[in-house]
C-alpha cells in the first residue's frame, strides 16, 4: 500500500510539473506579445520627411516613397478647404526666446504646439507650466532626439516616448497630449506603427525653412516672404524657437495671417476634424 501511495504521489507531482511548465510557456508568450506589439515584418527602412513646396496657396505634395504613413495616424497637413494653421515649435533647448514668443501668441490669442524633449521639460518647468496654462499643447519630441527609425527594439522605442510623458506629468500633474514629432523627420513604417501602438499621432509638417542656425539667421524680409508665399489652408507650420528672426517677426506674421482670414488652432482641432 505504501508503494502504491508513493507511486500515486509521484505521478500527481509529475503531472503538476507538466502543467506548471505549460503555463509558464504560455505566460512567457503572452509577455512577449505585450512587449512586441508591432509586427516584426514591418519595413524598417529609414525615410526623411520631405514635400514639394508650392507658392500658389495650395497644399504641397508629400513624400511619394512612403505613402503608407497615412495608415498609422500620421498627419502633415489639415483640411485643404479650411483656413486654419497649426503653428508648431520644435524645442531641444531654451535659448531665451520662448517667453517673448508666448507673449506674442497671447497678444493675438493664438494657440500653438511646442514639441519638446525630456531635458527641456526638466530644465524649464515654469515655461512648460505657462505653455499649458495659456492653452498651448506641449507635445512629445522624444527623450534624446534620435532617429526613431533606427530603434527597432520596441522597449527602447517606448522609453524614448514614455520618459517625456513622465517628465511632463511630474511638472504639470497632467497627461501629455498624444502627439509625437519624429526627430529630424526621420521615420520608417515600423516606427510609425510603434508610435501608433503607444497611442500617439505622428505629426509632420507642410511648411518649414532653415531657421535653426543661431549664428546664421535669415533676414526678416527673407523669412516673411518665405512664410507668406508658402502659406496654405491646413498648414502645419514648423518653426524653431531658438531663431531670433522668428521671435522678432512673429507679431507681423500673425497679423498677416489674420488679415488673410486664417485662424490658429491646436492639433486637437485637427484630430477631431479627421
Least confident window among 24-28, 36-40, 173-177, 232-236: 24-28
User: pTM score, two decimals?
Assistant: 0.85
List the catalytic residue out of 31, 67, 90, 211: 90
134 vs 196: CA distance, rounded Å: 28
pLDDT score for 273? 67
Q: Would you state the cell numbers that stand for residue 126, as one nine-digit string?
A: 515654469
Catalytic, 90? Answer yes
156 vs 39: CA distance, rounded Å: 16
Query: What are the structural domain ranges in the chain?
Result: 1-35, 47-273
pLDDT band at 111 (very low <50, low <70, confident <90, very high): very high
pLDDT score for 40? 57
- Beta-ladder partners of 219: none
Do the beta carbons of residue 207 and residue 171 sit within 8 Å? no
More confident residue, 273 or 235: 235
- Percent residues over pLDDT 90 in the chain: 80
What average pLDDT does range 59-80 have in this prediction?
90
- Beta-ladder partners of 89: 114, 239
- Residue-wise pLDDT for 147-157, tens only, equals 999 999 999 99
Measured over the CA atoms of residue 33, residue 35, residue 65 and residue 139, the dihedral's sign is positive
Catalytic, 251? Answer no
**146, pLDDT greater than 60:** yes
Q: CA nearest 245: which of 217, 266, 270, 273?
A: 217
pLDDT score for 25? 41
Q: CA nearest 149: which of 87, 69, 93, 210?
A: 69
List the catalytic residue out of 136, 141, 232, 240: 240
CATH of domain 47-273: 3.20.20.370
- Beta-ladder partners of 90: 115
pLDDT score for 69? 85
Do the beta carbons of residue 104 and residue 97 sit within 8 Å? no
What average pLDDT does range 8-14 have in this prediction?
50
Do the beta carbons of residue 231 and residue 77 sit within 8 Å? no
The Cα-based distances of 148 to 41, 99, 157, 235 in angstroms read 17, 30, 7, 24
Q: Would you state the cell numbers that stand for residue 231, as one nine-digit string?
A: 502659406
Do the beta carbons of residue 115 and residue 202 sit within 8 Å? no
87 vs 235: CA distance, rounded Å: 8
pLDDT score for 66? 74
272, with CB counted inside 10 A (0-12, 13-18, 19+), is exposed
Q: Would you state the cell numbers that stand for residue 192, as one nine-digit string?
A: 510609425
**78, pLDDT greater than 80:** yes
Amino acid at each position: 500500500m505504501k508503494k502504491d501511495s508513493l507511486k500515486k504521489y509521484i505521478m500527481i507531482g509529475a503531472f503538476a510539473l507538466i502543467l506548471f511548465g505549460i503555463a509558464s510557456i504560455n505566460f512567457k508568450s503572452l509577455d512577449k506579445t505585450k512587449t512586441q506589439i508591432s509586427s516584426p515584418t514591418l519595413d524598417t527602412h529609414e525615410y526623411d520627411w520631405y514635400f514639394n513646396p508650392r507658392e500658389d496657396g495650395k497644399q504641397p505634395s508629400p513624400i511619394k516613397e512612403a505613402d503608407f504613413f497615412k495608415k498609422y495616424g500620421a498627419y502633415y497637413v489639415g483640411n485643404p478647404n479650411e483656413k486654419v494653421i497649426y503653428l508648431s515649435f520644435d524645442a531641444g533647448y531654451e535659448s531665451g526666446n520662448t517667453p517673448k514668443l508666448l507673449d506674442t501668441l497671447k497678444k493675438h490669442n493664438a494657440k500653438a504646439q511646442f514639441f519638446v524633449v525630456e531635458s527641456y521639460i526638466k530644465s524649464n518647468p515654469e515655461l512648460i507650466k505657462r505653455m499649458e496654462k495659456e492653452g498651448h499643447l506641449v507635445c512629445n519630441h522624444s527623450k534624446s532626439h534620435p532617429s526613431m527609425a533606427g530603434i527597432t527594439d520596441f522597449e527602447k522605442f517606448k522609453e524614448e516616448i514614455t520618459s517625456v510623458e513622465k517628465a511632463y506629468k511630474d511638472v504639470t500633474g497632467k497627461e501629455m497630449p498624444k502627439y509625437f514629432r519624429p526627430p529630424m523627420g526621420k521615420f520608417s513604417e515600423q516606427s510609425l506603427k510603434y508610435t501608433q501602438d503607444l497611442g500617439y499621432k505622428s505629426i509632420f509638417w507642410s511648411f518649414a525653412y532653415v531657421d535653426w542656425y543661431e549664428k546664421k539667421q535669415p533676414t526678416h524680409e527673407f523669412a516673411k516672404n518665405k512664410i507668406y508665399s508658402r502659406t496654405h489652408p491646413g498648414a502645419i507650420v514648423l518653426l524653431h524657437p531658438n531663431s531670433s528672426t522668428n521671435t522678432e517677426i512673429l507679431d507681423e506674421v500673425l497679423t498677416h495671417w489674420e488679415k488673410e482670414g486664417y485662424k490658429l488652432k491646436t492639433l486637437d482641432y485637427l484630430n477631431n476634424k479627421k
